[in-house]
Amino acid sequence: MASHLTSNYSPTETPTPVHDIVDVQTTNCCIVGGGPAGAVLALLLARQGIPVILLEAHKDFDRDFRGDTIHPSVMEIMEELGLADRLLQLPHAKMRQINIKTPEASVTLADFSHLHTRYPYITMLPQARFLEFITAEAQKYPNFQLIMGANVQELIEEDGVIRGVRYRGHGGWHEIRAILTVGADGRHSRLRQLANFESIQTSPPMDVLWFRLPKNPDDLEGGIGRIGRGHILVMLDRGDQWQIAYVIPKGGYQEIRAAGLEALRKSVVDVVPELQDRVEYLQDWSQIAFLSVESSRLKRWYRHGLLLIGDAAHIMSPVGGVGINYAIQDAVVAANVLSKPLKQGRVELSHLAKVQRQRQLPTRVIQAFQSLVQQRIFARVLNSNQLLQLPAWLRLPWLRDFPVRLVAYGLFPAHVKT
């Protein structure tokens, strides 16, 4: 007999918690995490008339996110929702190419302009604005509720089935009971920890420092990768700014920090001499975000009553900037599979397994691609003072097109079915 969840329960069935609960709400789907995966899933379910509550731990979206890339596959999803044109009315930049340069050569690593789509580019849009846009659209539906400042602390579990969450905020403890709880709470997922999911780890050979510098009007456009002796620096076009990823050896942050900002500025200029006139904008370590690069995926993304998606289910390395792309495609597949069961008030384990089954292969393929890039390029450069010789296949357009499509769409793109 298939295991399932139904909506035939009431809050009084739960043993009295040790906390003083301010209030109890019930819903069909409780989504924890208001990032791209959680926000898009909430919108897709709300459009279907499904009661959904979205919980976000922060009190607003006005934060400095590293992931500001929206790939062609996501723009096509926005088009299927009738939102693409309005989304592109927000201030943004378009990255049509990614070029890689060494002191000896220059080659186009990725050219998105050749893709057969209305959106042959990566849209550089601040993630805060994207999340505000998506949640504002969701709030047009009366069955959607967004609760900011909701710090989820506990899972509600009865007879091995997850029945919702308890969170702190807004004057005390609150309880939300749901047919299905979805964890979309990112790479440091609280729900993943609470549910004791087991993950498969890899060890990327690098970490990343993120910072921004002004972009001059005569600078080249698009994405630029620079490779020097022992250094890699990636520049992402944000219109009037460069968002810069300075790749460092794994575990090397403390040594760089101890050497001081002046040494870091000099190192940046050594790789990209054109930044000499603006590197002085880096005046404090608070301007520099440190990312400990990880790559992992869960063996199983679900339990009775609980599903994890996005970074909560698979932590991506920053190679290709695909994290948002894959998280939103997870959300689309989850909505496609789960909308009908949620409407019926009956979600079976087979439904949750189907979501993982559809998304697991694309996840494994892109992580394998990221690992290949990290080992063949990044590790060689960071662990050697030799100049990297660019592989010959980068000069063959028919070979370059495969990684471009993989970054732009994934192994096969997800589409909104309803």
CA angle (225 as vertex; 219, 228 as ends), nearest 5: 110
Q: Is the pLDDT of residue 5 over 50?
A: no
pLDDT in tens, 203-223: 677 888 999 999 988 887 778
Residue with tokens 């979501």: 355
Q: Strand 144-148 relative to strand 52-56: parallel, antiparallel, unpaired? A: parallel
Written as one string, the DSSP assignment of 86-116 is HHTTSS-EEE-EEEEE-SS-EEEEEEGGGSS
In percent, how much of the chain has pLDDT > 90?
60
Phi, psi of 301 (to 5 degrees): -95, 0
Please say whether the structural domain 84-123+204-293+390-409 has been given the CATH code 1.20.1110.10. Answer: no
Task: Report how far residue 235's alpha carbon sits from residue 214's, in angstroms, rounded to the nearest whole number.
Answer: 11
Instruction: List all residues 6 or more positions away from 31 whose beta carbon is below 8 Å from its beta carbon.
Output: 38, 41, 42, 52, 53, 54, 55, 181, 182, 184
**What number is the average pLDDT over the span 136-149?**
98
Q: What pLDDT digit, counting tens, does each position of 332-388 carry?
A: 999 999 999 999 999 999 999 999 999 999 999 999 888 887 776 766 666 655 555
Q: For residue 294, what pLDDT band results from cuts at 50, 70 and 90?
A: confident
pLDDT in tens, 303-340: 999 999 999 999 998 888 889 999 999 999 999 999 99
Q: Does the predicted model carry a pTM greater than 0.85? A: yes
To 10 degrees, the CA torsion angle through 133, 67, 71, 241?
90
CATH of 4-9+19-69+125-202+296-380, one of 3.50.50.60, 3.40.50.150, 3.40.50.1220, 3.40.50.720: 3.50.50.60
Confidence of residue 111 (pLDDT cuts 50, 70, 90): confident
* Residues 304, 180 contacting (CB under 8 angstroms): no
Half-sphere exposure of 4 (CA within 13 A, CB side): 13
**Domain limits, the chain:** 4-9+19-69+125-202+296-380, 84-123+204-293+390-409
- Comparing CA positions, the residue from 289, 283, 280, 218 lying closest to residue 248 is 289
57 vs 59: CA distance, rounded Å: 7
* pLDDT value, residue 14: 46
308 CB-near residues (< 8 Å, 6+ apart):
182, 183, 184, 189, 191, 192, 195, 197, 298, 301, 302
H runs (alpha helix) in 313-348 = 323-344
Cβ(181)–Cβ(155) below 8 Å: yes
Name which of 3, 40, 10, 46 is nearest 25 in CA terms. Answer: 10
Residue by residue, DSSP assigns 174-236 as: EEEEEEEEEE---TT-HHHHHTT--EEEE--SEEEEEEEEE--TTSPPSEEEEEETTEEEEEE
**Buried residues in 181-202 as b, exposed as e (16+ CB within 10 A):** bbbbbbbebbbbebbebeeeee
Distance separating alpha carbons of residues 172 and 168, to the nearest angstrom: 6
Q: Are 221 and 80 in contact (CB under 8 A)?
A: no
**Section 63-85 average pLDDT:** 90
**Rg of the chain over all Cα atoms, to the nearest angstrom:** 22
Tokens coding 306: 């609980």
Instruction: Judge if 4-9+19-69+125-202+296-380 and 84-123+204-293+390-409 fold alike in CATH terms.
Output: no
Q: Rounded distance, CA 143 to CA 366, Å?
A: 35
